[in-house]
Amino acid sequence: MKTSTAVLAIALIGGATAWAQTHQPYAGLQARPVKALSDQQVADLKAGRGMGLALAAELNGYPGPLHVLELATALGLSDDQRARVAGLFDTMKQEAVPLGERLIAAETALDRQFADKTITAASLGEATRDIASVQGELRLAHLKHHLATLELLTPDQAARYAALRGYGAHQAPGQHGR
């Protein structure tokens, strides 16, 4: 009897846990300052980090300036290349940080309208279009610097970068068939 009661108790606890995970996936998130953004996302936006926004470039042979700088020695960057990539990184960060702040503000404003129960169909449309616009600008800020970084590397450096980052024998754009 005790064994079957213990098995039943374990089954009930396991079932309750599974139910909670399935039916309460957002439990606890209601306490976040900006409901749509995690603390890590807010920190990344404030710091101008990429957050995967440039994966289309990165994974298709267009290296990011930060990662190129991290691998500068292994890539054999010249002093000029290193300085120019550092300049691209600084410019990217100067663009991305204010855009990140704008995105946080836009998400905060949307959240506030819901929290205050002042949201309307019109204000919802305006807020979500504003958020989408800022997200697009932020993504552009990262992607265009990947494009510019590739222009500073030799084909061999771009291939070495891909290998060092674990992307295999990926060829740099424009190098196919050579």
Full DSSP string of 87-133: HHHHHHHHHHHHHHHHHHHHHHHHHHHHHTT---HHHHHHHHHHHHH
* SS3 labels along 58-71: HCCCCCCHHHHHHC
pLDDT digits (tens, 9 = 90+) for 39-90: 999 999 999 999 999 999 999 999 999 999 999 999 999 999 999 999 999 9
Please give the C-alpha separations between residue 60 and each of 44, 77, 139, 155, 163, in angstroms, as whole numbers: 23, 21, 16, 14, 13
Give residue 30's pLDDT: 86
Q: What is the pTM of this model?
A: 0.81
Say how far apart CA 142 and CA 52 lie, in whole Å.
10
Give residue 25's pLDDT: 87
Q: Is residue 177 over pLDDT 50?
A: no
pLDDT digits (tens, 9 = 90+) for 104-152: 999 999 999 999 999 999 999 999 999 999 999 999 999 999 999 999 9
Domain ranges of the chain: 1-31, 32-164
Amino acid at 168: G
